[in-house]
Amino acid sequence: MFHAKLKPHSLLYVHKLHSLCFQIISRTFMHRIIRTKQSGQILGSVLCLMGFAALIVVFWKAWPDASSSANMFSALWLEILTQQINVASIIALKLIYLTVAGTVFLVLGIVVLVFSRQIFLVSSGSTLLQCPHCKNQWKAGRAMGWAECPYCRKFIHPQTMKKA
């Protein structure tokens, strides 16, 4: 768990101790709910696919000439810097521009995918709820926005009394 070289007053030691305590607490008392936004997932996936496609086109064009060289990586880099690709016989793009665009799309897609998730920590203990009409109380697994009172059978917004 902890490295022997970490000193108790070091910032890394405190961070590791804090994250370990948070993991123990979150595993015993809380469970995670991961909610994803579908539009963010679609946009992030499309951006990642565009980035991958651009990078594949770059390597597809530059690899045949670079692979026969003795110094393969410098030859690949030289091919990417100098070679051009014609798009619909109208526009000539250098491969370096396509490499930069593909990398930007890929990174932007990953960022959108990461930020399209929301993680909620929900306590797993029971909650004491009270009906505002009949004032009866009951325990529930979690606090609810709207629920049916088990005593008067009205559809109400129960009041949270305390964590049981």
Locate 86 and state its tokens. Answer: 């014609």
Specify the 3-state DSSP secondary structure of 128.
Answer: strand
pLDDT in tens, 42-101: 999 999 999 999 999 999 988 888 878 788 888 888 888 888 888 788 888 888 999 999
pLDDT at position 97, please?
A: 93
Query: In a 3-state reduction of DSSP, which class is residue 58?
Result: helix
> Quick one: pLDDT band at residue 19, thresholds 50, 70, 90?
low
List beta partners, residue 36: 117
Enumerate the domain spans of the chain: 36-119, 123-164
pLDDT digits (tens, 9 = 90+) for 109-152: 999 999 888 776 666 667 788 899 899 888 877 666 778 888 88
Contacts of residue 117, defined as CB under 8 A and 6 or more positions apart, other chains included, come to 34, 35, 36, 37
Q: What is the DSSP letter of 164?
A: -
Q: Which residues contact 21 (CB under 8 A, 6 or more apart)?
A: none
More confident residue, 141 or 12: 141
